[in-house]
Structure 1
Amino acid sequence: MPAIDRALICSGPQTRVRTLAARGGHPTDYGPLDRAAVLSRIKEQLDRIVRQGGPVWPGDGLRPAS
């Protein structure tokens, strides 16, 4: 997941995230509509996985060993 997407998801629904371009330092602002778009893409991916009968598994090593 791209860093901007992670920042939007982790920060909350009304948060704004600002980035600065490496060259020139021009700011780009991301906000609630961008967050909604990220959540929509995630939902589409999960829906596709479920429709295909695939497991919804976060990956190995993310939970403590039993």
Structure 2
Amino acid sequence: MIYRLLTADDTSAFCHKVSEALAKGWELYGSPSYAYDSQNNVMRCAQAVVKHEHAPYSPDLKLGQQ
């Protein structure tokens, strides 16, 4: 299994990022998280996703291309 944490400002772009990962076979892992970024005055979102891969893990793996 491989793991990714998607993060972005709380905009529709974040939803599209998560939707794209789901379309590529990633699965939601846990609930989304939200936090206020006081330095940039925005809400930030995070969502963990996982994918079941049968190939050996390598730190060189490009997770966004999976």
Same fold, judged at TM 0.5 (above): no
Point out the structure with the larger strand share: 2
Point out the structure with the larger helix share: 1
What TM-score comes out, normalization by structure 2 length? Answer: 0.27
What TM-score comes out, normalization by structure 1 length? Answer: 0.27
Q: Which has the higher contact order (CA 8 A, sep 6+)?
A: 2
Give the number of the structure whose alpha-carbon radius of gyration is greater: 1
